[in-house]
Structure 1
């Protein structure tokens, strides 16, 4: 379970996709980033744009600031290793981002026991993230439904209050009518 949490912390949302970066995957597969990227380049036909893309400089700066913030908040040794591997990185080249399908395709490219086992764990992490997001959207739907019901109840309560005020006003008018001073001839009996 700890490994899945660690993997979930390495899943980022970029361009509306949940992705993992090449250096994180290399760390998890226990290979160098360079080796991972070479394997991908040798099999580039397996990685269309919707499976893998290179980050823009702006996206990379944004992700990099998130990683630095996360690694300073935690004292996780693996995040320190990631920071060290990023420091060695050629700053002119941005990392590759792999979507869930791209990570699945990596299992056929990086073929070691560690990579296979880690790939299974990564797929489970993606599934867990999807489940969490589905639960969250379900909760949002329930909250919206509750708000609508409350709105309907407010309308119904206002109608009740108006009806009660009308009844009270009619009673008051009736009392005033009965208590009015009579005019005209008075007959003594």
Structure 2
């Protein structure tokens, strides 16, 4: 695939276009159309013509509230003036777009995007396992702290007993 070899889109550009909406990593229709170098309305038209390929877990339209939240996150100046709420695509939806947009560029961009989604998932997985290990260490440290406190409380009790020591009467024979 010649297009994939010539495709020079830095990973950071694609990574910065991935948002977390409804607890899913998604990409906006306008960002995808920019990467594919097609008009957003053309991308939307192709999706609507093939809507059976895009179930809710592949693609959904934002609500007005989600759209407003997104605008405030992105900033109005860079947003542009779209009158319509955007479609957003999950990783599976992005993969499905290559079957709808049949250009070499769309296929090459999709491959790159899917690889970045995979990298992100791997990073999150590594991060999660690291967090779990840290939590286990914290639990051990808490247990050690409790054990040390217990040892000190026993030592305090022994010291108190020694201080409270009563005068004992001697047992045994006395020499006169």
Q: TM-score range by the shorter chain?
A: 0.7 to 0.9
Question: Partners of 1:50 and 1:31 in 2: how far apart?
Answer: 24
Cα offsets for 1:110-159 (capped at 9, x unmatched): 11111111101100111111122212222221222122111101111011
CA distance in 2 between counterparts of 1:97 and 1:61 reads 14
Measured against aligned partners, the alpha-carbon deviations of 1:19-42 in whole angstroms (never above 9, x if no partner) come to 101000000001110111111111
Residue in structure 1 matched with residue 122 of structure 2 by the alignment: 131
5+ long unaligned stretches in structure 2: 1-7
- Distance in 2 separating the partners of 1:65 and 1:103: 24
Q: TM-score, normalised by structure 1?
A: 0.79
Stretch deviating more after TM superposition (157-166 or 7-16)? 157-166
8 A Cα contact 1:54 1:95, kept in partner: yes
**Structure-2-length-normalised TM-score:** 0.84
Match of 2:162 in 1: 171
2:133 counterpart residue number = 142
Partner of 1:87: 80
35, 38, 53: which one pairs with 2:42? Answer: 35
Structure 1 residue ranges without an equivalent (≥5) = 72-82
Q: For 2:175 and 2:90, locate their aligned partners in 1 and report how far apart those are by CA, in whole Å.
A: 103
Aligned length: 166
Moved over 6 A (4+): none
Partner of 1:154: 145
- Distance of aligned partners of 1:152 and 1:188 in 2 relative to their CA distance in 1, 3 Å threshold: closer
State the distance in 2 between where 1:35 and 1:65 align.
26
Determine the structure 2 residue equivalent to 1:105.
96
Give secondary structure in 2 for the equivalent of 1:177. coil
**Aligned 8 A contact 1:5 1:125 in 2:** no
Q: 1:76 is matched with which residue?
A: none
Give the one of 39, 50, 63 matched to 2:57: 50
Higher relative contact order (CA 8 A, sep 6+): 1
